[in-house]
DNA sequence: ATGGCTAGTACAACTAGA
């Protein structure tokens, strides 16, 4: 089983990339973030034609998440039941006995801003909900754009980013508290190339200079982590014309 | 140098992303 996550930064613009990537990488499950589409505009027929079932929850202009699957999708949940949220940032479902949660964690904008406060309370509530979900689902994966670089090695310039948004102690502690639930960062189960990132700014040739952050993650429950044999970042779509600023992350479960 | 791109909304510049 291959599980993947990709922040597409507008599914309307990136649908051709999505279809091309799926044709080259026929993963079992793909979680999308930042679809930026209301549900009536979701490209259901195109995704079905590519061989995928899909569930989604979106809104105008911002946010929006979806789960694509080659297998049947059951027990769908939209948003965190413990957190009343106008913003469509979470969708979960059970696929082949695995609980799959697709999450688009708030950006936070600036440390101590209103958006940062929202990000932190969103993460606190996420932890509480995941704690419950883990009691009933031993095989659980939470995939998405966390908007948090876990460690300095996940940041191209740790000095410049020290204490900044995505790298602050509060955000890193919030991510660590998810890990304390028993979830593990599948990427770090394996030896990885140095300077591995999943996002690069559109500006100043950041991708060409590999000035990026690793903020897209696949966290696995202990049972799934034991079965995980690989986790890779696929930089290839970031080289395509008119790319998303994020690139896919793929975990392989045996 | 707090900018630099990109996408959405809507048709002129804004907000937002990270």
Distance CA A214, CA A216 (A): 6
- Reported as a single tens digit per residue, the pLDDT across A122-134 is 999 999 999 999 9
CA distances to A43, A140, A196, A199, A212 from A207, rounded to whole Å, are 29, 32, 12, 8, 7
Domains of chain A with CATH codes: 2-253 (3.60.10.10)
Nucleic strand B under 7 Å from the C-beta of A41: no
- Reported as a single tens digit per residue, the pLDDT across A192-211 is 999 999 999 999 999 999 99
- Reported as a single tens digit per residue, the pLDDT across A70-108 is 999 999 999 999 999 999 999 999 999 999 999 999 999
- Measuring alpha carbon to C1', the residue closest to nucleotide B3 is A203
**Beta strands A199-200 and A184-185, pairing class:** unpaired
Residues constituting chain A:
254
**Beta strands A98-104 and A140-145, pairing class:** parallel
- Reported as a single tens digit per residue, the pLDDT across A17-59 is 999 999 999 999 999 999 999 999 999 999 999 999 999 999 9
- Measuring alpha carbon to C1', the residue closest to nucleotide B4 is A203
Distance in Å from B8's C1' to A223's CA comes to 41
Going by pLDDT thresholds of 50, 70 and 90, the confidence category of residue A185 is: very high
Q: Is A137 annotated in the active site?
A: no
Distance in Å from B11's C1' to A137's CA comes to 50
Give percent above pLDDT 90 in chain A: 100
The predicted pLDDT at position A50 comes to 98
Average predicted confidence (pLDDT) for chain A: 98
Among residues A145, A154, A185, A216, the one annotated as catalytic is A145
Adjacent-strand bridge partners of A249:
A5, A233
């Amino acid at each position: 089983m291959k599980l993947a996550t990709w922040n597409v930064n507008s599914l309307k613009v990136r649908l051709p990339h999505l279809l091309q990537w799926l044709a080259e990488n026929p993963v079992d499950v793909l979680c999308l973030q930042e679809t930026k589409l209301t549900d009536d505009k979701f490209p259901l027929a195109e995704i079905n034609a590519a061989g995928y079932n899909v569930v989604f929850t979106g809104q105008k202009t911002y946010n929006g998440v979806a789960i694509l699957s080659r297998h049947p999708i059951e027990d769908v949940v939209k948003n965190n039941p413990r957190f009343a949220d106008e913003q469509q940032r979470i969708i979960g479902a059970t696929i082949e006995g695995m609980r799959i949660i697709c999450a688009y964690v708030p950006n936070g904008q600036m440390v101590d801003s209103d958006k940062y406060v929202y990000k932190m309370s969103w993460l606190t509530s996420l932890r509480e909900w995941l704690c419950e979900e883990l009691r009933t689902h031993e095989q659980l994966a939470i995939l998405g754009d966390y908007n948090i670089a876990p460690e300095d090695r996940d940041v191209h310039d740790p000095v410049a980013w020290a204490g900044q948004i995505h790298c602050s102690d509060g955000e890193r502690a919030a991510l660590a508290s998810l890990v304390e639930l028993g979830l593990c960062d599948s990427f770090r189960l394996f030896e990885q190339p140095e300077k591995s990132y999943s996002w690069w700014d559109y500006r100043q040739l950041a991708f060409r200079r590999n000035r990026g952050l690793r903020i897209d993650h696949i966290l696995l429950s202990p049972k799934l982590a034991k079965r995980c044999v690989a986790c890779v970042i696929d930089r290839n779509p970031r080289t395509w014309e008119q790319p998303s600023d994020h690139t896919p992350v793929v975990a392989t479960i045996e």
